[in-house]
């Protein structure tokens, strides 16, 4: 249930409502926007006497939340969630452009890629070191050694690091190297992992499961939010359909639908959603035009030799061309590419 306060409600009236919510054994979530103050009652609200709230001083209206997710819901938090990420903000006017190889393969490969994507206009570096491969015989990632290389790439370019965590057990070793924890499609419903990430202070890039509905994605986000971590980005990365011409089907609908249902930033991954270099630019343009808050794109200096996902990885020159187009579409959408703070230019 949410309690919407009148625009002129006083802080003590807001405080009274919070106290009242708590007196029913529920927790209260305060969302203070520029225009509206909303108090969300979280817990089992089935027997809550709504009239006790509608009649209270300063209250404009009381609404039941029909969706199963609460903290992720736009009803709870009408304004977009905007949070800082090392020199730029995610979810606001600036677009997050996360780029880099599928996997960190060597020191030289990640540093070369980091410099190239930074020059092209990316504002964060991706690269997996713990890889969720379909086959146990495929390259599984460099593990801790890869984290060291990512740290060096960060040192050289100033780009924050986005990398996948597959298990709660990796939290300890990863924390000091990672700026954004990526939760992969295969782990979207690894609830122990989501709970553990909810207790961290770092932003999370939560990818949609291969066959997960939008509601299931939002419920997964709710696990992280309910642990206290409010910095969650959602990532559409294509879903399984009957179509086999592409690796997955980009659910472009998911972008406006998510923007409607939630205040969390929405990022699109055109590399995994199409699975082919030839389609990455078109779907990137479509995503920004559809209202996405950013992109995560696989870029490799030599895709033919990549140890994973080479067929969908762009060469740096193609990435440069893509960014130019995205920049123009961003303008139409009143968005812009972030200009990195000079301190992070090395």
299 interacts with, out of ligand PEP, Mn ion, none, CB within 5 to 8 A per kind: none
Based on the shown chain and the rule CB under 6 A, indicate whether residue 184 belongs to the binding site for ligand PEP. yes
Query: Minimal CB distance to ligand PEP: which residue?
Result: 184
Choose one: 109-117, 179-187, 216-224, 258-266; the region binding ligand PEP (CB under 6 A). 179-187
Choose one: 178-186, 221-229, 310-318, 321-329; the region binding ligand PEP (CB under 6 A). 178-186
- What CA–CA distance (Å, rounded) separates 265 from 255? 10
184 interacts with, out of ligand PEP, Mn ion, none, CB within 5 to 8 A per kind: ligand PEP
Query: Minimal CB distance to Mn ion: which residue?
Result: 102
**Cβ–Cβ under 8 Å, residues 52 and 14:** no
Q: Which is nearer to ligand PEP, 262 or 273 (CB)?
A: 273
With CB under 6 A as the contact rule, the residue among 20, 29, 70, 237 that binds ligand PEP is 237
Based on the shown chain and the rule CB under 5 A, indicate whether residue 309 belongs to the binding site for Mn ion. yes
What contacts 287, CB < 8 A, 6 or more positions away?
236, 250, 252, 255, 268, 270, 295
Q: Which is nearer to ligand PEP, 58 or 146 (CB)?
A: 146
With CB under 5 A as the contact rule, the residue among 1, 59, 102, 281 that binds Mn ion is 102
Based on the shown chain and the rule CB under 5 A, indicate whether residue 86 belongs to the binding site for Mn ion. no
Q: How far is CA 88 from CA 79, 102, 131, 326, 338, in A?
A: 19, 23, 28, 17, 6
What contacts 3, CB < 8 A, 6 or more positions away?
17, 21, 38, 39, 40, 41, 53, 59, 61, 62
Q: 109-148: which residues touch ligand PEP (CB under 6 A)?
A: 128, 132
Based on the shown chain and the rule CB under 6 A, indicate whether residue 7 belongs to the binding site for ligand PEP. no
Q: Is 304 helix (H, G, I), strand (E, B) or coil?
A: helix
Based on the shown chain and the rule CB under 5 A, indicate whether residue 269 belongs to the binding site for Mn ion. no
Least Å from the CB of residue 298 to Mn ion: 6
Least Å from the CB of residue 319 to ligand PEP: 16
- Terminal Cα distance for the chain, rounded: 49
Q: 205-234: which residues touch ligand PEP (CB under 6 A)?
A: 207
Choose one: 24-32, 106-114, 183-191, 211-219; the region binding ligand PEP (CB under 6 A). 183-191
**Nearest 5 degrees, angle CA 240-CA 134-CA 273?**
35
Q: Which is nearer to ligand PEP, 40 or 303 (CB)?
A: 303
Q: Is 90 helix (H, G, I), strand (E, B) or coil?
A: strand
Residue 27, CA atoms < 13 Å, CB-side half-sphere: 8
**Cβ–Cβ under 8 Å, residues 179 and 96:** no
**Cβ–Cβ under 8 Å, residues 125 and 162:** yes
Residues that bind ligand PEP (CB under 6 A): 102, 128, 132, 184-186, 207, 237, 272
């Amino acid at each position: 249930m949410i309690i919407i306060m009148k625009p002129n409600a006083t802080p003590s009236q807001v405080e009274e409502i919070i106290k009242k919510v708590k007196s029913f054994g529920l927790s209260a979530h305060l969302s203070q926007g520029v225009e509206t103050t909303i108090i969300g009652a979280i817990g089992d609200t089935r027997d809550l006497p709504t009239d006790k709230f509608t009649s209270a001083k300063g209250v404009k209206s009381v609404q039941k939340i029909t969706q199963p997710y609460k903290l992720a819901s736009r009803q709870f938090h009408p304004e977009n969630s905007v949070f800082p990420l090392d020199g730029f903000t995610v979810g606001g006017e600036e677009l997050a452009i996360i780029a880099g190889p599928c996997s960190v393969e060597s020191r030289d490969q990640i540093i070369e890629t980091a410099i190239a994507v930074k020059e092209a206009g990316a504002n964060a570096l991706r690269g997996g070191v713990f890889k969720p491969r379909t086959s146990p015989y495929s390259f599984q990632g460099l593990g801790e050694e890869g984290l060291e290389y990512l740290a060096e790439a960060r040192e050289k370019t100033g780009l924050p690091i986005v990398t996948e965590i597959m298990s709660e057990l990796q939290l300890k070793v990863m924390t000091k190297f990672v700026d954004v924890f990526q939760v992969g499609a295969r782990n979207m419903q690894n609830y122990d992992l989501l709970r553990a990430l909810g207790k961290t202070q770092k932003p999370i890039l939560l990818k949609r499961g291969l066959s997960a509905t939008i509601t299931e994605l939002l419920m997964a986000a709710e696990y992280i939010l309910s642990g206290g971590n409010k910095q969650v980005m959602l990532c559409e990365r294509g879903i399984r359909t009957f179509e086999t011409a592409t690796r997955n089907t980009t659910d472009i609908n998911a972008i406006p639908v998510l923007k409607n249902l939630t205040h969390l930033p929405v990022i699109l991954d055109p590399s995994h959603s199409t699975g082919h270099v030839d389609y990455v630019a078109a779907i990137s343009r479509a995503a920004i035009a559809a209202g996405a808050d950013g992109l995560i794109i696989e870029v490799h200096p030599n895709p033919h030799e990549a140890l994973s996902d080479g067929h969908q990885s762009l060469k740096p020159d193609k990435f440069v061309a893509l960014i130019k187009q995205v920049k123009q579409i961003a303008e139409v959408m009143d968005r812009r590419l972030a200009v990195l703070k000079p301190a992070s230019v090395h």
